[in-house]
Amino acid sequence: MKKITKIAFLCIFLTFILVGSVFAAENEYILVKEYIYQNAQKYSLGSASIEILIGSGDFVQYQDDEYITVSPTPDEIRTDSYGNKYAYFNLDGIEPAKKFKITVKRKVTAGTYTETIPARSNTEITAENEKYLLPQMGIESDNDEIISKAKELTEDAASDYKKAEAIFEFINLGMVYDASDKYMDMENLSAVTTLHEMRGVCKDFAILYVAMCRAVQIPSRVVTGCSIIEKEANVSGDVLQEKKIENHAWAEIYLQDFGWVPVDPTAVYMLGSQKKVNRNAFCKIVNPEYIASGIMAYDITHADIRYTSSLQEVSVKETLLEVDKMEDAGQNSFEDLSGYDWAKDSIQFLYGINVVKGYSDTEYKPQNNISRIEFISMLARALRYKETPYEEKGMVYYFLDYNQEHWSKEDYDYLMRCYQYIDSSSDMASLGYYTIAEVFDTGSLDMNKAITRAEVVALMDIFLPDESAPTKLKDIRGQKFEKSIIKAYNSGLIVGYPDLTFKPNNKITRAEIAVVLERYIGNELYNIM
């Protein structure tokens, strides 16, 4: 027997899972998804709305959603007939070009299935799963070609399990993974077209599989979500990629005594250069790294995001945080955050991605002021996480009182290079920006001194979009960093006080800076509803 030299995933989104009726908890993750939308019209919207898919509910047997938070608070949480949960927002009156952000956070536990499903297993048609026999948009299970091919493939099968397996083998072995633009388009889904072409991406594999299963009376459905890709290393041992999430689609079939069992027709084995059926991807998928988000239900115009045509998608960003790296399931062990509910999520998020640190395993000290060097380090880490496009070049400018043996040196150097500091004659202020040297213009960093609100926004000015419209702030006229304050305030990065003052010389706390940096990381323009 030839040695298997390579496992190939024809879907770029793929890992394997083992699932079933006996749930065994495995890896826990925090998934953060941030949506930025904008009023694309030149007038205020009289009527506009948006729905965001926020989770799978309880229909998935191989994962638990322990909590789902949505910010800002939605006007309504809706659950459709398939169990998909949507956050609904009424956006009437949104001003022209106004941008806003919606953040969804899910703590998900992926699990394994330890039973082996016998080949004699059959389906069970119930009132609940009967709808999964019906044709849907893109899943034409009533098409004569689909029916004919499905019956041909399953004519010798002695059970529903064997029927589903025969269809799986046909697609798993016979289809070609093709990620060209034609197949990435979600608007042209058709199981019939896929049968003709035998090409596509994961959703095409899944819809053809489901259509053919339904054609022979096996309840089946397409599940959308993400898969988690493990880090890889080259021959020298260098890590090429850490764990990350990729959008994915797979299928589930309903078997009596076992419930909904996942099947991924996209996953194949390669034996050298020869493609082989991946039997581990049929009813015994072997890695708990799929996270379901919803049922693909095109008869009700399913989509992850539903919004009126007057709105425009700016960006959607997904972040994966491993719970085992976040101290107690993303709810780290800081015991001093009581009374800081407004900042707690931001602190936990930034802690999980190594932007902020605690004083100890149990103390964050949210009330403490941030020192200049602490902020420099936090901003550098935020830029790294954000994969800032700013080049690292030029000399590193060192203040005379900066100790180059200090723990912050790596962060300090990185930020200085992000500023593209060339020499002491650089006058970035003439361009509207400030170097660190120009913000702290005394010649000394005085790095343990508490940083002010004005100094924070001045240091971040170069990394912010231009938002220079006038403000109603009363106490910034003539202030050295007036322009930076206006830009940060108008972009929603940092807010003023109820009396319309900014108090530029006030110190900023560790809790406050966590909120500011999360806004910076998560949004381009920070205009938050």
Cα–Cα distance for residue pair 249/86, rounded to 1 Å:
19
Cα–Cα distance for residue pair 86/304, rounded to 1 Å:
9
Long-range contact set of residues 402-411: C-beta below 8 Å, sequence gap at least 24: 402/445, 402/447, 406/373, 406/447, 408/373, 408/376, 408/377, 408/447, 411/376, 411/377, 411/380, 411/381
Q: Is 389 exposed, middle or buried (0-12, 13-18, 19+ CB in 10 A)?
A: exposed
Backbone phi, then psi, for 33, in 5-degree steps? -125, 125
Domain assignments of the chain as residue spans, ordered by start: 327-522
Cα–Cα distance for residue pair 113/252, rounded to 1 Å:
14
pLDDT tens digit at each of 529 positions of the chain: 333 333 333 343 333 333 334 445 567 777 888 888 888 888 887 788 888 888 765 667 777 777 778 878 888 888 887 878 888 888 888 888 777 778 888 877 776 555 678 899 999 899 888 999 999 888 999 999 999 999 999 999 999 999 999 999 999 999 999 888 888 776 678 999 999 999 999 999 999 999 999 999 999 999 888 877 665 544 444 544 456 777 888 999 999 988 888 899 998 777 767 788 888 788 876 555 777 777 776 444 445 666 676 777 777 777 776 554 433 334 456 888 889 988 888 888 788 778 898 888 788 999 999 999 999 999 988 887 766 555 555 567 888 899 899 999 988 988 887 776 434 334 454 556 677 888 888 778 999 999 999 999 999 888 777 666 677 888 888 888 888 888 888 877 888 888 889 999 999 999 999 999 988 876 433 322 2
CA distances from 47 to 41, 86, 142, 203, 308 (A): 12, 19, 38, 33, 9
The reported pTM is 0.61
Q: Is 400 exposed, middle or buried (0-12, 13-18, 19+ CB in 10 A)?
A: exposed
| Secondary structure string (H, E, C) spanning 313-373 | EEEEEEEEEEHHHCCCCCCCCCCCCCCCHHHHHHHHHHHHCCCCCCCCCCCCCCCCECEHH
Backbone conformation region of residue 272, classed left if phi is above 0, alpha if psi is from -120 to 50, else beta: left
Cα–Cα distance for residue pair 248/512, rounded to 1 Å:
37
Q: What is the pLDDT of residues 44-98, one digit of tens each?
A: 877 888 888 887 656 677 777 777 788 788 888 888 878 788 888 888 888 887 7
Q: Is the peptide bond before 72 cis (omega within 30 degrees of 0)?
A: yes
Q: Where does 237-340 show beta strands of DSSP type E?
A: 239-241, 244-255, 259-263, 268-271, 274-277, 290-295, 305-307, 311-322
Q: Give the H or E element holding residue 459.
A: helix 453-460
Instruction: Report the SS3 class of residue 450.
Output: strand
Cα–Cα distance for residue pair 312/290, rounded to 1 Å:
30
Q: Which of 384, 267, 319, 346 is nearest to 513 (CA)?
A: 346
Any residues with CB less than 8 A from the CB of 278 and at least 6 apart, and which? 172, 267, 268, 269
Tokens of 181: 């633009």
Each residue of 232-246: b (16+ CB within 10 Å) or e?
Answer: eeeeeeeeeeebebb
Is-contact 495 443, C-beta < 8 A? no
